[in-house]
Structure 1
Amino acid sequence: MTEATGVKPARTYDRVLLKISGEALMGNQGYGLHPPTVTRIAEEVKSVHDLGVEICMVIGGGNIFRGLAGSAQGMERTTADYMGMLATVMNALAMQSALETIGVYTRVISAIPMDQVCEPYIRRRAVRHLEKKRVCIFAAGTGNPYFTTDTAATLRASEMSCQAIFKGTKVDGVYDKDPVKHEDARRYDKISYDEVLQQHLGVMDASAIALARDNKLPIVVFSLDEPGGFRGILAGRGTYTLVHP
């Protein structure tokens, strides 16, 4: 990949979905929410929103509760997954608060109705929010157990006619092996959906990758810890991996 030069943004996407893990919100803590980290991510979102890009988000709940982990410890799987969905609502409300504090109108939209704290998911209403330049945060996954927030992100991105999914992680792209454990790990500039599935690279779960492939929805994997990384990619700069047809 050749890094672009110049200062004028060369925006290539008009509507995107940002997928981040719940763990991204806990900073250096081992659990829960770290308000300064939530604020930093909100500022990253605002910097892209200021370019005129329509943004929706899906945030995991692993910093509070992970359904699969609860199931592994003996909890009934369906109950554990619903608890994980509720954790994503808590994270979405935290991000909404951070975004609105810095002047970005935001709507939390839940797949599980809870009218007192957020809106129910209605596709046409969500599209209208995006058209009005409001950030939409989709919470509670798909509303069904056994589906991850990765799959929920791909589903919502497809329904909203997003042009790409931006997957914010702790590393600056997709590697052939864990770069934290292996110094010789090689980063891919571009890789196909099928190669991700065949090599078990763990970008997203297999259902999410297959759904993205079926809808020809590109996935941009980048480092959420890199200041200005989200905006930089939309401006034609930065390091990332593009998962594409």
Structure 2
Amino acid sequence: MRIGIVCPYSLDVPGGVQNHVRDLAEALIAGGNAVSVLAPGEDDREHPAYVVPAGRAVSVPYNGSVARLAFGPISATRVRRWLASGQFDVLHVHEPLTPSLSMLAVLSARGPVVATFHTAITRSRAMVAAQGVLQLVLERITARIAVSELARKVQVEHLGGSAWEIPNGVAVARFAGARPLPGWPGPGGAIGFLGRYTEPRKGFDVLREAWARLAPARPGLRLLV
């Protein structure tokens, strides 16, 4: 199959959605499919052969974080050009309700569209104000995927539909040969935190409060961030 995948976030910075898109693309290619990924990114940066950079992204506060997105007339032109040249059997977009390449791709697509929703956003004034546009986008989607129960709940309660719950895939073979850091976890055990700890939604403050309770009762317990 010829499969087009759209990532809304810049591949020049690390992130969960970006990693998911890369892993998915490589798994589909390994299965014999022809895959092209469109994503924000600098043209002069080095990218995998299957990636088509859509130009510079701008930083936008979104869902308690800062996302690097591409949107506007130039981006729309690049999306249409990519779709025309790709002649995809199916288009797979991520976070299509974010003002981004994904939304532009859905609005320009002429074939089957699969959409994956990653975030668990709550209903807001902005969502209500944009309901007409969001509904137009949703009507063009053939099948919806939510990576978690919370993400699926948004579809049911706020967007008038549902989605198949399919968690993010993990390329476990990459980690099969991993070895613990020297001295870890230690005789007292260890807790690991992986994520952007400066963002409240990642939960580091919750872990810090839990640590204050656990540490006195667990001598030798260590925390790795």
TM class by shorter chain equals 0.3 to 0.5
Q: TM-score, normalised by structure 2?
A: 0.36
Q: TM-score, normalised by structure 1?
A: 0.34
Larger Rg: 2
